[in-house]
Structure 1
Amino acid sequence: MAQRRGVSRNLAERSLEPQSIAEIIASGDPFSVLGPHETAPGTWEVRAIIPDADHVTVLDRDGETILSSMERRLSEGLFVGTIKADQRPDYRLQVERQGHTEVSHDPYSFGTFLSHNDLIDLRNPGSDAVYTKLGAHHLDLGGIQGFLFTVWAPNARRVSVVGEFNSWDGRRHPMRRRHEGGVWELFIPDVASGQGYKFEIVGLHGNLLALKADPIAFTAENPPATASILKGAPSFKWKDDEWMKSRAATNQRKAPMSIYECHLGSWARVPEEGNRYLTYRELAVRLIPYVKDLGFTHIELLPITEYPFDGSWGYQPISLFAPTSRFGTPEDFAAFVEAAHAAGIGIILDWVPAHFPNDPHGLSYFDGTHLYEHADPRLGFHQDWGTYIYNYERQEVSTFLVANARFWLERYHLDGLRVDAVASMLYLDYSRKPGEWIPNRYGGNENLGAIDFLRRMNEVAYASAPGAVTIAEESTAWPGVSQPTYTGGLGFGFKWNMGWMHDTLRYISKDPVFRCHHHHDLTFGLLYAFSENFILPLSHDEVVHGKGSLIRKMPGDQWQRFANLRAYFGFMWGHPGKKLLFMGGEFAQEQEWNHDHSLDWHHLSDLYHKGVQTLIRDLNHAYRTIPALHERDCEWQGFEWIVSDDRDNSVIAWLRRGDKEDSIAIVVSNFTPVAREGYRIGVPVSGFYREAVNTDASIYGGGNVGNLGGILAEKRESHGLPCSLCLTIPPLATLILVLEKT
């Protein structure tokens, strides 16, 4: 905690003779001029910049007048007064302006706040100093309430705090430069939470920049407004201890993980109130019970870190430490997370450390230099998205991002981070032609700074949040994405299996008559299915920009389209790998996703759409309750082919095993509209195989073709296995059969 300033002896024998206020605030150390200064033994000169003041009086701590009128030394608003005192005076300033009077403490009567060690920790990726020291933090200094403002801007000539409390006037509150850290700080007493603020920065070359939002703001104005809002660092009284303890004891690789990907702004709206968004608290009441009822284990939120443009869906964030105010306050978001945990649902955040937008109030050209982004556009600019790329090799930038990951996991109890666009971070030549990129120091195309950052981020995330997961959206064959860093991997817990998604969607979109020629699209993914800890994603990216919804990708008439989709979902839930489904897919939304509109909930009055939703509920139930379907999602020992080569009939079958010897499930899919009667497949042991899921059941909108709930295995060898089942495989359907324990 800072103390009141001591005597400034370097000015003791002279009075102030500035030419202008600009001269004072441009020095980088306004404290050398402003505040109390002893100009002679027992004589103190108090100096303050208050441009709009009509009259300024100096009061003591009890409100008694010390000096009835300070002299306006400069017409711009520099006031100076002389006080006789044996020791440094403890005073207040009473300011009269336009008939109003207010009393406040002088910001320039306080000393420094950040210690040398604090400044060092701002470069330490394992530290939380970025969000506990930088930004705007409420302080109580022996009854003096206010906010300490700190910002990293090493190349700025001048930084001022501007806001509602000083009429956005950069002359009022210039900050002190801490040279050893490139950080500027100022404690402003008597300002209250909830007020808007920004930083006014004069850049390296003397140019006044657009007002900058606080990079560490904990909340911000509702877009399109862009100010940061005074709000202390989030610290909530959580009631989810039981959830957090259970999560820490869970092996996520072996646990069922079925993720409902959700864009909060378009899941559902309130049409009778101007089509407004649901709030975080309303979503807690509506979204969370819905997801719980359908049996999903997690909700993955498209980015909710504050972003200016709705059309970016959150993937171009400005304030990485602030949950968007579109849906409420930080407390409201914490209540949403807590409600999810109470319902047994984990919350995963889409997190965007790959790039940031060029909005003038954001991080771009922050202090008049390319501070957060690389200066060379071949390294620092995304051509595809028109955004800037973080300079991962700058220690302060890497630490800023690592601290942000830790912040969401620790302060908001989030259960995971899905890292967006990892491939664009790993490769220097990502989406670039020859000559548009710069090789690394070894001549390669790997972004060494990004690799180091991702490894450190994962190490810190797993150390600070036991049981939480990190997930990479990575679309290439980069080795070891989900392997530990000590083995040379990137350290993620899971990786999206983009190849599986593209292959299988291509297959299922074809007319069944042609599927025999593309059978490898179903089987190819198993060649590498256990090289990483995979999540099978059917994400938002597959249902936008003219790609059509999932149901619109399906060929045939109405019955065939829905049967195809149900068979595909059964295939997916029976396939090795964790599951992810974007909202609307669970009831076969007809229109492709539009971020400006609610999902088409009226579809649920239709039998076919309602049937798909019922199937998803049953698939999730089967996935969570049948160990063979999830315990070895990431282990080759849990999978065995039964039928992989029947391309003529477009039939595929495999065996799933759990950790226990008798934990067995069989998955069979028929991707033609012809029922397969008497289709024999091998199984490892005899016994009764219960039909846990039949996607052709009438309750889902199917024709109810099947095996009357189950079938007894015969001791007849088939497909290299000692026993076999003689099945009826419905048309365009998937069966999941489970060995019943005797």
Structure 2
Amino acid sequence: MTVDLTPVASSPVNIAEFDLYLFGKGRHFDLYRVLGAHPDVRDGHAGYRFAVWAPHARAVSVVGDFNQWSPGLHKLYPVAASGVWAGFVPGVPRGALYKFAVRQHGGDMALKADPYAFFAQYRPETACLAWDLDNYSWNDVAWMQARRERGLPIDEAVSIYEVHAGSWRFKTDQYGSFYSYRELAETLLPYVADLGFTHIEFMPLAEHPLDESWGYQTGHYFAPTSRFGQPEDLKFFIDACHNRGVGVILDWVPGHFPKDAWGLGRFDGTGLYEHEDPRQGEHPDWGTYVFNFARHEARNFLLANALYWLKEFHIDGLRIDAVASMLYLDYSRQDGEWVPNEFGGKENIPAIEFLRDLNTVVHEHFPGAAVIAEESTSWPGVSRPVYAGGLGFTFKWNMGWMNDTLSYFAKEPIHRSHHQNNLTFSMLYAFHENFILPLSHDEVTHGKGALLSKMPGDMWRMFANLRLFYAYMWAHPGKKLLFMGGEFGQWREWSSREPLDWALLDFPTHQGIMALVRDLNAFYRRTPAMHVRDNDWTGFEWVDLTDYASSVISFLRKAPDGAQILWVFNFTPVVREKYCVGCRAPGYWRELFNTDAACFGGSNVGNAGGVQARPSALGGWPHYLELTLPPLAALALTPESGPAQAPGPAS
């Protein structure tokens, strides 16, 4: 067929009644293939068909570099009484810049970005690019099939490396010399795989105009940021990750959006995606609009967006930002600044229903894909099934563990005996949810300092404390998340405008931290007792949590087959000789891990490879181990059947 590229007037576009019906009900899972801009050929003319929801607009047209940004030249037409405007514009090439010229309710003309645009201009420009979806051939069939067959990774080792793609590395010393998605596949991916992390979690990659928002004030929900390349380049990166055995998690922000005049806010002159009432529709902390979860079309926008990233980009999980701000109507508001729900309470019922619906749909349509809640309150059942009254998330960030543990480690060891509850309290609720233990970007910025700089003492003690901290984190029930830079002991707190301090890897102490993280990940992944039952009491048992005077605790991690790992932690810089720890199994206990090993930068105090259990009713245990506890260090041991092995060096 001969295609004529000569521009002609726009023409109406029919949208199927069933599509409009599903949209009105808030249940159109592929809505992004109906609304937005899509390549098409009509009557021999190539171009794009456009559709946008603007029910209170007086007129809508498409403007762009193909018509000199002239409102009214390529108008869109109302589709029945749906509030959707649609039309086919011939002569629009792939990559053309465009926006919608919306004659708003009230008469003003506004140039608005397409809410469903698949690609957008590099900041600070905000126009959309006419693009297409089906532009990449995937090579991860084996990964996707295995993910479906395994199902949710509740009993798997999950160790997440959190990344801000714009500041992991720069290609030059100049800010903005970002690595592209494809370059990250050649640099970031092998780095993460070598360290043994199972997943990369990106801070939001949806297009955003302000670098300092880190992506949490999203401008284009369906457009991967152009800072690092084109949408198919991101698909290439994810494809490469899957072929290397690494999953990809994406931070997603459904709670609020910025007030930029070109964006979603007051799209047709009224509050379409947001509440009109500022007590419901504006976030006081962030100066943003809050989504109106009671409106089906707004909920459908978000639901389709979540499914878009999972379906079109093969994302393995979504981490939902600021869930608490969605759950509570009075979040960060004073009396009189919020509107109670229909029952007089503070719960945001439409938002709760949206989250439950989102999690149900994701788990049904994308088996094995995780949905993770950053939820900082004591809301019950966040990661429990919807049918059991929960919110239906796969995992929840354990913010209580994070705060208590950081508080404990910031204290001088001489004072820790008075605060041991900060360590042990988490076990009272460790299995109420499917937890992830997060040491995220929020803990190393805004004046909080880097993890290493939070540790007390001289240089040696700071590094020893950090190694001990990581061992305690990896040993504790729950999946793991570590923000970039933490894996080698970054001194300086994170700034989004500077790369990590890679020169630190020239120093043995920082190399030791990296070696520790690598070995912890390997130990965690290959040892079922460390991860199979980390959401279940049957996988954990205290040995001794009462030795406050020595600041020593010990516990078991247990596998379904009976295998067990004994962890012993010494939170003081004192070497403790002949320290007795109860155990059940007789025979030889091999030392599997020692954070004081010389290869990690420690003093190499240990137990010569292991110890022989002795019979005694120590604390009710039938046997005990007489150990040498290294200073500010953790030990992991496991029983071996048969004769004692020959001693070896501390590992």
Q: TM-score, normalised by structure 2?
A: 0.96
| Amino acid in structure 2 at the alignment position of 1:697 | A
Partner of 1:431: 332
* SS of alignment partner, residue 200 of structure 1: strand
Pair 1:300–1:327, CA change in 2 (3 A)? same
Partner of 1:127: 28
Q: 1:627 aligns with which of 510, 517, 528?
A: 528
Query: Contact 1:415/1:469 (CA < 8 Å) preserved in 2?
Result: yes
1:145 deviation in Å? 1.5
Q: 1:270 aligns with which of 171, 181, 197?
A: 171
Separation in 2, partners of 1:501, 1:375: 37
Partner of 2:347: 446
Partner of 1:173: 74
Instruction: Mark the runs of 5 or more structure 1 residues left unpaired by the alignment.
Output: 1-60, 64-91, 93-101
Query: Contact 1:353/1:419 (CA < 8 Å) preserved in 2?
Result: yes
Query: Contact 1:689/1:712 (CA < 8 Å) preserved in 2?
Result: yes
Q: 1:325 aligns with which of 226, 245, 249?
A: 226
1:685 deviation in Å? 1.4
Query: Contact 2:30/2:308 (CA < 8 Å) preserved in 1?
Result: no
1:714 deviation in Å? 2.2
Partner of 2:97: 196
Partner of 2:114: 214
* SS of alignment partner, residue 259 of structure 1: strand
* SS of alignment partner, residue 608 of structure 1: helix
| Amino acid in structure 1 at the alignment position of 2:119 | T
Q: 1:706 aligns with which of 597, 606, 619?
A: 606
Separation in 2, partners of 1:718, 1:62: 88
1:124 deviation in Å? 4.2
Q: 2:597 aligns with which of 697, 707, 719?
A: 697
Pair 1:716–1:160, CA change in 2 (3 A)? same
Are positions 1:104 and 2:10 aligned together?
A: no
Partner of 2:243: 342
* SS of alignment partner, residue 239 of structure 2: helix
Are positions 1:664 and 2:585 aligned together?
A: no
1:29-67: CA deviation from partner (whole Å, max 9, x where unpaired): xxxxxxxxxxxxxxxxxxxxxxxxxxxxxxxx999xxxx
1:721 deviation in Å? 2.2
Pair 1:740–1:240, CA change in 2 (3 A)? farther
Of stretches 327-336 and 179-188 in structure 1, the one that deviates more from structure 2 is 179-188
Q: 1:610 aligns with which of 504, 511, 524?
A: 511
Larger radius of gyration: 1
1:146 deviation in Å? 1.1
Query: Contact 1:543/1:593 (CA < 8 Å) preserved in 2?
Result: yes
* SS of alignment partner, residue 49 of structure 2: strand
Partner of 1:118: 19
Separation in 1, partners of 2:589, 2:320: 40
Are positions 1:409 and 2:310 aligned together?
A: yes
* SS of alignment partner, residue 626 of structure 2: strand
1:202 deviation in Å? 1.1
Instruction: Mark the runs of 5 or more structure 2 residues left unpaired by the alignment.
Output: 643-651
Q: 1:154 aligns with which of 50, 55, 59?
A: 55
Partner of 2:645: none
Partner of 1:464: 365
Query: Contact 1:235/1:411 (CA < 8 Å) preserved in 2?
Result: no
Report percent identity of matched pairs: 52
* SS of alignment partner, residue 617 of structure 2: coil
Query: Contact 2:542/2:554 (CA < 8 Å) preserved in 1?
Result: yes
Partner of 2:647: none
Separation in 2, partners of 1:218, 1:186: 18
Are positions 1:601 and 2:516 aligned together?
A: no
Partner of 1:381: 282
Q: 1:290 aligns with which of 191, 199, 218?
A: 191
Q: CA RMSD in A?
A: 1.5
| Amino acid in structure 1 at the alignment position of 2:29 | D
1:187-266 mapped onto 2 (5 Å cutoff): 187-209=88-110, 211-250=111-150, 251-266=152-167
Query: Contact 2:135/2:232 (CA < 8 Å) preserved in 1?
Result: no
* SS of alignment partner, residue 220 of structure 1: coil
1:712 deviation in Å? 2.4
Separation in 1, partners of 2:593, 2:42: 64
1:314 deviation in Å? 0.4
The structure 1 segments of at least 4 consecutive aligned residues displaced by more than 4 Å after TM superposition are 272-275
Separation in 1, partners of 2:129, 2:402: 41
1:739 deviation in Å? 3.0
| Amino acid in structure 1 at the alignment position of 2:572 | T
| Amino acid in structure 2 at the alignment position of 1:473 | E
* SS of alignment partner, residue 375 of structure 1: coil
Partner of 1:524: 425
| Amino acid in structure 1 at the alignment position of 2:592 | A
1:437 deviation in Å? 0.8
1:142 deviation in Å? 5.9
Query: Contact 2:199/2:247 (CA < 8 Å) preserved in 1?
Result: yes
**Equivalent residues, number:** 641
Q: 1:354 aligns with which of 243, 252, 255?
A: 255
Separation in 1, partners of 2:80, 2:92: 26
Partner of 2:623: 723
Query: Contact 1:121/1:129 (CA < 8 Å) preserved in 2?
Result: no
1:350-372: CA deviation from partner (whole Å, max 9, x where unpaired): 00001101111111111100111
* SS of alignment partner, residue 580 of structure 1: strand
